[in-house]
Structure 1
Amino acid sequence: MRISYRHIKRYREIAQVMIKYGFSFIIERINKDNGSKVDIDSTEPVDDIKKMTSGERLRYALQELGPTYVKMGQILSTRRDLLDKDMIEELEKLRDDVSFFETETAMKIIEDEIKMPVDEIFESISSEPIAAASIGQVYEATLKTGESVIVKVQRPGIENTIKSDLEILKRVSDSAQDVVADYNINLKDVIEELSTQLLRELDYNYEAINAVKMKKMFQYSEHVYIPEIYMEYTTKRVLVMEKINGVKVSDIETIKEKGWDPVKIADIGVKSFIMQVLTHGFFHADPHPGNIFVIDKEKIAYIDFGMIGIIDKKTLKHLNQFAIACINKDVDRIAYVLYEMDSIDENTDMESFRQEIMYMIHYYYDVPIEKISFGSIIGEVFSFFRKYRVKMPSQLVTLAKTIITLEGTGRMINPGFSVKGISREFAKNYYKESLNPKNIAKEKKQEAEEMFHDFKSMPKQIKGVLRVLEKNNLKITIEDVKMRRIEDCLKEMTTQMSMSLVLAALIVGSSLIIASPNLESSRTIKIMSFFGFFTSFIVGILLVIDIIRTRISKK
């Protein structure tokens, strides 16, 4: 697929940056496959760049390419199922290191979006932004009604830039597929997933709805607070949210000065996360220290709801079965659960697969859980999955990444924090939810409805099978079971059986002739008996040779 003419300038910029950081082979492959005539200077990377690792070169290239690629790198840094640990660690260093855009421009965007003058919406608004990111920048303000708020305003032109970059990526994905073949990555699917997430982040309504849903989940909680979203002033490019007055969870000194217990705060964070996952199947997927504030000795608040994870009950059930199988060191059960999840490739070497699983289980099983880093385990598991082409549902990948982030945040608050607390709470709450009579009744009702639906659709399915039979469309199935080989086996078996019957008949017949009282009086009878035994001997030799030949040919 050729690069669109309107994207030539941007493609040239991307190509130059990629060549600068030593990725010229990618550009050469894309140009060859697309028949590109774009004039691009091919220069060798400078010595300083040559000394960098592949991960470092990729990080610097993405930073230089701008907002779309920075965001892509940040999203890819969560995909431990796709990339190696070294690459992930470099991508995690990506930051939205961007300049501010003019406040005058931001005010114009607010007025265009809300259809009201700024001074009619806000009593006051900061003259300078307090933070800037690749997609937008943030201001402090006070509404006319007196509430303190945070105002996020999207960068001018950022939507067109991102959509242009995504279109280029989609057009070159087929050509670049071979470059990532060793990573078992379907580049087209990855770009499609990145595209979906980036386009959602371009719409602040999506983040607002996430926050509203999260607030409803914690509306009666004494330990978790979700800021108010002012939907009347929120649009695709502007988000107005209640300002949280608290202490960042990373500010440990201030937390201790206020007499708040970091251990209790970490415990609240874990329990709130478990509730999100198990009770609602909807969770904050980016619980890093900058997105959590402590507002009281026993109360935290979440902000920034652009990245949300969703997980269904069926996937949670598979996850629990997988965990139990690991605890029981049941390798066959682990393989079965992965089959149920459609995660194992049909060409997987199952013998090696089982052996490596057994090794990992035995390696970690007897290690004290306080000594284990969940991040390290996940990293090794995902490395194993890449090796054996195990495809994990994106829900579980997001959940694993969130737990890793949560563990890091928990250890920042409390150095003694370990994954033990998360796993213990997770197991306790999972079984509590599973054994809840209300949930059991709901599950059984759903199962009954599914069975009823299957029963209703069965006549239609049978009719479809009969139609296929009527049209004699079973030829492929017969060929798939190697009918010709079956025919050969039947021929061999029939031949040997026939020879055995002839042999038996000759022996029995010759024996009866010999036992005849007329044997001595008739020379003809003597000759017939001798001929019968001789023939049976020849037939027996031929039968043995045929059996031996058949067995040798099968080896």
Structure 2
Amino acid sequence: MDIIKTSIVFTKTIRNVARLKEIVTVFAKNGFDEFINSGITSHIPDFVLPSSRVKIKEELAQKSSRDWPMIIGNRLRKCFEELGPSFVKLGQLLSTREDLFDESFIDEMKKLRDQALPIPFETAKNIIEQSLGIKITDVFSNVNQNPIGKASIGVVFEGTLKNGKEVVVKVKRPGIEKIIETDFSILEFLITQLEKFSDEIRQLALSKIIKEFEASLHNELNFNIEALNGKRFQKIIDKYDNQEPKLFRIPHVYEEFTGENVLVLEKIVGIPFSSKDDINKLKEGLENKLQKAIEIFSKMYLHDGYFHADLHGGNMFLLPTGEIGIIDFGSMGNLARKARHNFVAIIYSLLTHNYENLIYEFLDVAEYSAIPDVDKIIGDIKQELRPYIGLTAKEINSTQLLHKVIKTITKHDMFVPRDWVIVFRSLITLDGVSKSLDLDCDFFGILESNIKEIIASSFNKDEVIEDGLWAMKDMLSAARLAPRHFKWFIKEWTKGKFAFEVKTSGHEKEIAGIYSALLFLSFAILSAAFMFAGVLCLDNAKVRVLLDISILSWVFWSLSFFFMITGFMVLKKGEK
């Protein structure tokens, strides 16, 4: 199967031989010629690898192993900057994966500069008019021909609408989809070869990172999606930012002028939080605002599961009105209800130093190819987090703590999905902004003060009923299908496709234990069934109630408790 996948990727790649030659040449020029010579050039017809004056293998041999991530990161950064949009975006993504890479490597990726060139204004004008279906002068009284922003996917211009409103106009680069499609087909091929080259590289799960990244990037290529993201973010944040004066300002989207290739937004003017010196001059009252921001974002994560996936100092502004402006909604994160419950449990486990529960929650959300050694992970977590035991929530450095947890998890070959990395990183960003400005925002203290409310609201009666209904549906489905599967098994067995040899001599105790376990399972199923039956009767208004709960619910729950106790007694008896 792997051979077939590789062949498909190579078939796509070979159509782009010229681009592949360019990429290979750039990597070789920057010292990666040993990797290039490991089999990639054999797939490129009539290609001679240029000699490299830089030998990364020789340089690494002369340096301490602690310097390797920085050296490799520096070389990769130069490659990415030269190769353009897709690779710059990839480097920016890698800079967010503190769970996978060393700090010095991450620092090099953070230095990446998007070398994207501006597009001619006439080209941008044609794209705008094609999107609007009318002349640009029919919508805008003025558009500044000099772009105020140049990125991999789009170029940003300032403008003024006919009604006098100041706006920013984001125009997608022509042909960017084809460029990204080509580069991704080549990236998939290169990573396949790279993972063959090194077991350590394969453990980084770069293939999964690329697939997640590609899906996210495709959404960023459609400005209609970014517009909808901004509106949804505004709607959700308004539920919590509901007191005057408002804390947050989200730019208004002019939907009538927005399309797949053009996005027209309200222009908001302020000081980016990345400009620390300028922000420091205006930080009076900022500590309370950032604390409130952390509280609002925490509620958004936990109650709605929707959050900004690219939150950093350059996307947050302090406006003259005192509001915090947020821009760039091309990439958003989403936690399903179950994942939100996991997140509550993870934070609560950290606050209460319940490291065993912490690991089991991560086992529920992480991906892994082999069953991890749970005891070893718990031991490593305890070792890493020992300095935090006894500290109050306010005394804990949340950024360091979360980094240590994620690093320890991934060290045991557990892959943390993108949305989980993003939600931790966005919280760390807010905490990091406050610390960089010498503000005393109590990140974990805010979470601790709200955790009981969060737990109560996350496990309400309606959700319990919904979960109960789904569980009963699964149980009924399993009960319906079990006879069919058993019939099929007997049929295949009679054909001689299965053979069993049972030896009981000397294993009577083990067999009794298995029998007890099966009985316990039966009683557990009955207990669960009556528990859910009780849940279903909660809203039965036709039945008498006791303590505001239906009598039928009390009856079913009593039966559930009886079968549960009976099951445990049977299990305990089997252990003797």
TM over 0.5: yes
Whole-angstrom distance in 1 between the partners of 2:31 and 2:37? 12
Counterpart in 2 of 1:27? 36
1:195 matched residue in structure 2: 214
* Cα contact 2:398–2:428 (8 A) shared by 1: yes
**8 Å Cα contact 1:30/1:172 also seen in 2:** no
- The one-letter code matched in structure 2 to 1:422 is F
Distance 2:334 2:71 in 1: 35
Q: Which residue of structure 1 lines up, in the alignment, with residue 140 of structure 2?
A: 122
Kept after mapping to 2: 8 A contact 1:277/1:311 = yes
CA contact (8 A) 2:16 2:182 kept: yes
Compute the displacement of 1:100 (Å).
1.6
* Alignment partners' CA distance in 2, 1:475 and 1:306: 58
Matched letter for residue 31 of structure 1: I
Q: Describe how 1:405-416 pairs up with structure 2 within 5 A.
A: 405-412=429-436, 414-416=437-439
What is the rounded CA distance, in whole Å, between the counterparts of 2:494 and 2:73 in structure 1?
Answer: 52
Which residue pairs with 1:433 in the alignment?
Answer: 454
**Shift of residue 188, structure 1, vs aligned partner:** 2.9
- CA distance in structure 1 between the aligned counterparts of 2:112 and 2:254, rounded to whole angstroms: 31
Equivalent pair of 1:265/1:297 in contact (CA under 8 Å): no
| Aligned partners of 2:342 and 2:361 also within 8 Å | yes
CA gap 1:363/1:254 in 2 versus in 1, 3 angstroms: closer
Looking at structure 1, the residues matched to 129 and 145 of structure 2 have their Cα atoms a distance apart, in angstroms, of 16
Q: SS state of the match for residue 462, structure 2?
A: helix
Contact 1:73 1:91 in 2 (8 A): yes
CA contact (8 A) 1:77 1:92 kept: yes
Give distance in 1, aligned partners of 2:94 and 2:496: 42
Distance in 1 of aligned mates of 2:445 and 2:81: 40
Q: 2:494 matched to 1:470? A: no
TM-score by length of 1: 0.78
% of aligned pairs identical?
27
Q: Which residue of 2 aligns with 1:287?
A: 311
Which residue pairs with 2:81 in the alignment?
A: 63
Cα distance in structure 2, aligned partners of 1:59 and 1:351: 38
Q: Does 1:403 align with 2:403?
A: no
Q: Distance in 2 between matches of 1:257 and 1:375?
A: 25
Taking structure 1 as reference, are residues 22 and 251 closer, same or farther at Cα in structure 2, changes over 3 Å only? closer
**Aligned-pair CA distance for 1:447:** 1.6
Query: Are residues 178 and 47 of structure 1, via their aligned partners in 2, closer, same or farther at CA, if it must alter by over 3 Å?
Result: closer
In structure 1, the partner of 2:462 is 442
The answer for the alignment partner of 2:481 in structure 1 is 461
- Is residue 2:333 matched to residue 1:309? yes
Alpha-carbon distance change, 492 to 372 in structure 1, aligned in 2, over 3 angstroms: closer
2:307 and 2:333 in contact (8 A); partners too: yes
* Code of the aligned partner of 1:85: E
Q: Which runs of 5+ in 2 are unaligned?
A: 1-6, 61-69, 509-576
CA contact (8 A) 2:492 2:498 kept: no
Instruction: Using the TM superposition, give the Cα deviation of residue 256 of structure 1 relative to its aligned residue in structure 2, in angstroms.
Output: 6.4
SS at 2:138 equivalent: helix
CA distance in 1, matches of 2:329, 2:365: 29
Match of 1:14 among 18, 23, 33: 23
Q: Where does residue 423 of structure 1 map in the other structure?
A: 444
Whether the aligned pair in 1 keeps the contact of 2:348 and 2:451 (CA below 8 Å) is no
Equivalences for residues 303-382 of structure 1 within 5 A: 303-341=327-365, 343=367, 346-366=370-390, 372-382=396-406
8 Å contact kept, 1:338–1:344: no
Q: Per the alignment, do residues 285 and 478 of structure 1 end up closer, same or farther by CA in structure 2, a change over 3 Å counting?
A: same
Cα deviation code 1:217-271 (max 9, x no counterpart): 2346322221111112111111101111333334566556668422123223212
Deviation at 1:282, TM superposition (A): 0.5
CA contact (8 A) 2:117 2:150 kept: yes
Structure 1 residue 380: deviation in Å?
A: 2.8
Partner of 1:386: 410
Partner residue, 1:83: 101
CA contact (8 A) 1:30 1:176 kept: no
Q: Distance in 2 between matches of 1:165 and 1:474?
A: 55
SS across alignment from 2:339: helix
Letter in structure 2 aligned against 1:46: V
In the alignment, the residues of structure 2 paired with residue 83 and residue 476 of structure 1 have an alpha-carbon distance, to the nearest angstrom, of 53
- Following superposition, the deviation at residue 172 of structure 1 comes to 3.8
Q: Are residues 474 and 23 of structure 1, via their aligned partners in 2, closer, same or farther at CA, if it must alter by over 3 Å?
A: farther
Q: Secondary structure at the match of 1:228?
A: coil
- Bigger Rg, structure 1 or 2: 1
CA-CA distance at 1:170 after TM superposition: 2.4
Q: Deviations over 1:197-231 (max 9, x none)?
A: 22222111121110010121234632222111111
Mark the runs of 5 or more structure 1 residues left unpaired by the alignment.
Answer: 494-555
- The corresponding residue for 2:518 is none
Counterpart residue type for residue 21 of structure 1: N
CA distance in 1, matches of 2:313, 2:121: 28
The letter of the residue matching 2:439 is: G
C-alpha distance in structure 1 between counterparts of 2:23 and 2:495, whole Å: 52
Give the Cα–Cα distance (whole angstroms) in 1 for the partners of residues 145 and 198 of structure 2.
47
In 2, the alpha carbon distance for the partners of 1:99 and 1:71 equals 15
**Partner Cα distance (1:404, 1:372) in 2:** 13
Larger mean CA deviation between 341-350 and 14-23 belongs to 341-350
- 1:110 pairs with 2:128: yes
The two structures, once aligned, show a CA RMSD in angstroms of 3.1
Q: Which amino acid aligns with 2:115?
A: D
Contact in 2 for aligned 1:264/1:298 (Cα 8 Å): no
Letter in 1 for 2:208: D
In structure 2, the partner of 1:45 is 53
For 1:380-401, what per-residue CA distance to the aligned partner results, in whole angstroms no more than 9, with x for missing partners?
3333223211222332111112
1:140 aligns with 2:158: yes
Q: 2 CA distance for matches of 1:181 and 1:38?
A: 30
Alpha-carbon distance, 1:152 to partner: 0.5
Shift of 1:273: 1.5
3-state secondary structure, aligned to 2:295: helix
Whole-Å separation in 2 of the counterparts to 1:200 and 1:229: 17
C-alpha separation in 2, matches of 1:255 and 1:189: 38
Q: Which residue of 1 aligns with 2:572?
A: none
CA distance in 2, matches of 1:411, 1:477: 67
Is contact 1:22-1:50 (8 Å) kept?
no
Distance 1:247 1:325, change over 3 A: closer
CA distance in 2, matches of 1:296, 1:310: 31
Asked if the contact 1:208/1:305 (under 8 Å) is kept, the reply is: yes
Q: Secondary structure at the match of 2:147?
A: coil
State the alpha-carbon separation in 2 of the partners of residues 232 and 42 from structure 1. Answer: 52
Amino acid at match of 2:460: I
What code does the residue aligned with 2:176 have?
I
